[in-house]
Amino acid sequence: MHLKLRHLEVFHAVMEEGSVSKAADRLHLTQPAISIALSRLEDMLGFPLFHRSKGHFAPRPEAYLLHMDAELSILAVEQFSNRARLIKQGGTGLLRIGAIGAAAFGLLPELVARYTKDNPLVEIDLRVRSSHQISYLVSNGQCDIGLVEAPVAAPTLEVEQFSLPCVCIFPSGSALEQKDRITPADLADHRLVGIQDSNQVDRQVRAICAEAGFEVRAPVHGFFFAVVRRMVAEGAGIAIVDALNGCMPLQDGVSWRPFEPEIRYDTALVVKAGAELSLPSQAFIQIIRDEMKARATLPDVVPV
């Protein structure tokens, strides 16, 4: 038995409308076309669905038994069609993102909110891990997109690198707020909250301060830039962090200024080499690219 969707649509319309003529109007078909479709459906089923006599047309009990199944079948096809349309447009699916703390706190929440507003049916799974762990997850297909610290040396990954400026953050009301920019000499008079000795930003800070003739004091360290910002807000010291987290208008009692000489924080977007990316992945990657390009330079207006 090879039932066609059109047969089910005709049967459903007749059951819903109660007559062949009304079903014909509903489906924009002729009455003979409706009658032929019903007859073919009955032939395929092997039993009649309607009482037919002069001046009388009514469903048999068998028709009532099959009506609900016909309706569910039509709805399933419509759902299939709608889901396929959304997939084609990138509007549904699962997007798995792995990110280091800097991106997970300072970048992705805003981008995810923006993306899901237009794509509410796309599921997003955001995992915060170390760069090494994220690279492993992307290489093994457990994450679609990764945002890690650069450089990245992995033949199993395709890498797109970004460079972000860093800023000095300090408690609002500090004397540093009167300066247009912060220099190594300014760090000498303050307790510095570091990230970790192996972090690329900390290495640059230490090298710049050594060149300026003093050893930087960083008795407190945090693993995430966002955590470091919270410590600065509570008065633990000042810090050099990426602009993603440093320039966020959180109104948490933290101000920022550019640091000179410039310190950059290099990150990379990674995907599995040779992988065919889903439409949601492609769309979200473009959003990341656009945002990273926009944030490659510091805002013109420095909040007070």
Q: Which residues contact 235 (CB under 8 A, 6 or more apart)?
A: 171
Top pLDDT among 186 and 198 is at 186
Q: Which of 41, 192, 164 has its CA nearest to residue 107? A: 164
pLDDT of residue 221: 86
1-5, 40-44, 70-74, 237-241: which range is least confident on average? 1-5
Q: Is the pLDDT of residue 12 over 70?
A: yes
Q: What is the pLDDT of residues 191-219, one digit of tens each?
A: 899 887 678 999 999 899 889 888 877 78
Query: Burial level of 128, CB count in 10 A (0-12/13-18/19+)?
Result: middle
How far, in Å, CA of 52 to CA of 24, rounded? 17
At residue 1, the pLDDT reads: 62
Three-state secondary-structure class, residue 73: helix
- Give the tokens for residue 101: 């703390």
Average pLDDT, the chain: 90
For the cut 80, the answer to whether the pLDDT of residue 88 exceeds it is no
Report pLDDT digits (tens) over 160-177. 999 999 999 999 999 999
> What pLDDT is recorded for position 75?
83
What digits encode the pLDDT tens for the residues 126-173?
A: 999 999 999 999 999 999 999 999 999 889 999 999 999 999 999 999
Confidence of residue 267 (pLDDT cuts 50, 70, 90): very high
At residue 89 the predicted structure's pLDDT band, cuts being 50, 70 and 90, is low
Whose tokens are 């009304």? That residue is: 22
- Model pLDDT, residue 300: 64
pLDDT at 24 over 80: yes
Q: Is it the case that residue 303 has pLDDT exceeding 50?
A: no
Domains of the chain: 5-89 (1.10.10.10), 92-161+266-294 (3.40.190.10), 165-264 (3.40.190.10)
Contacts of 174 (CB under 8 A, 6+ apart): 238, 255
CB 38 within 8 A of CB 10: yes
- Is the CA virtual torsion 13, 15, 20, 21 positive or negative? negative
Structure tokens at 39: 């007859």
- For 192, the token pair is 């510095």
Q: Is the pLDDT assigned to residue 99 strictly greater than 80?
A: yes
* DSSP E strand stretches across the chain: 50-53, 56-59, 92-99, 121-128, 145-149, 157-171, 193-194, 220-221, 239-242, 254-258, 264-272
Rg (alpha carbons) of the chain, rounded to whole number: 32
**Rounded Cα gap, residues 54 and 216, in angstroms:** 101
Closest CA to 165 of 236, 267, 250, 251: 267
